[in-house]
Amino acid sequence: MNFKEGEVLYFDKPLRWTSFALVNKVRYHISRKLGVKKIKVGHAGTLDPLATGVMIICTGKATKRIEEFQYHTKEYIATLQLGATTPSYDLEKEIDATYPTEHITRQLVEDTLKNFVGTIEQIPPAFSACKVDGKRAYDLARKGDEVELKPKTLVIDEIELLECNLPEIKIRVVCSKGTYIRALARDIGEALNSGAHLTGLIRTRVGDVRLEDCMQVDDFEAWLDQQDIEITND
């Protein structure tokens, strides 16, 4: 392996880790192994701290491929709690409002989910990495500032209802780059004349890379020790 020339690695991002923290950890172990102070390492698509699953990490010259990987179709398994919302649309923030769920049936959920398949417009969450006047939306939102984001056009290829234990549902979503599953949860809640927020999210696939192809970050150091690593001096 040659990390400077460029390698593409697949990780299962741990719960409560930021995407940046995972990149830092990988960079630290590679730098230590190579005995260098700096090496380029980047990820191909952010995952929220409360999400787990497939994260593609590129090193060295392979960081030029990041944009290519970002455009790959993604698959998620999402757990939604109906009847309540949070400002972040997930468990990062406390519940701020509750709504009736007595009218919701499995049939209503299935019919509603169909309306989200295809090309849709979605307003990203205020708690997101989108930029507003050069600043990250989540930095403004966490300060309590008003954040206004414009709708984005994206494509939902598939939505499948996996479990329906009302007021909780579990769905599988196949979607394009730029889809916020938290925002999808918000919109599904509204479409059901109720509210909803995410209580769990796993990215199970990016392109052809599946969760079973990914390594755990805790195993990375030992895995590195077993590799035949080529060291090039610039």
Report pLDDT for 133: 77
DSSP state of 90: S
Q: Which tops the pLDDT comparison, 233 or 19?
A: 19
Q: Which pTM does this prediction carry?
A: 0.92
Q: Select which of 48, 90, 157, 228 is catalytic.
A: 48
In the predicted structure, residue 233 carries a pLDDT above the cut 70? no
Band the pLDDT of 229: cuts 50, 70, 90: confident
Residue 139 among the catalytic residues: no
Question: Which CATH number is associated with domain 74-206?
Answer: 3.30.2350.10
Tens of pLDDT, residue by residue over 25-58, are 999 999 999 988 889 999 998 999 999 999 999 9
Q: How far apart are CA 12 and CA 209, in angstroms?
A: 11
- CATH code of the domain made up of 6-71+209-226: 3.30.2350.10
pLDDT in tens, 63-118: 999 999 999 999 999 999 999 999 999 999 999 999 999 999 999 999 999 999 99
Residue 6 contacts residue 59 (beta carbons within 8 Å): yes
User: What are the sequence ranges of the domains in the chain?
Assistant: 6-71+209-226, 74-206
Question: Is there a shared CATH topology between the 6-71+209-226 domain and the 74-206 domain?
Answer: yes
Give 234's pLDDT tier (boundaries 50, 70, 90): low
Give me 67's structure tokens: 């944009």
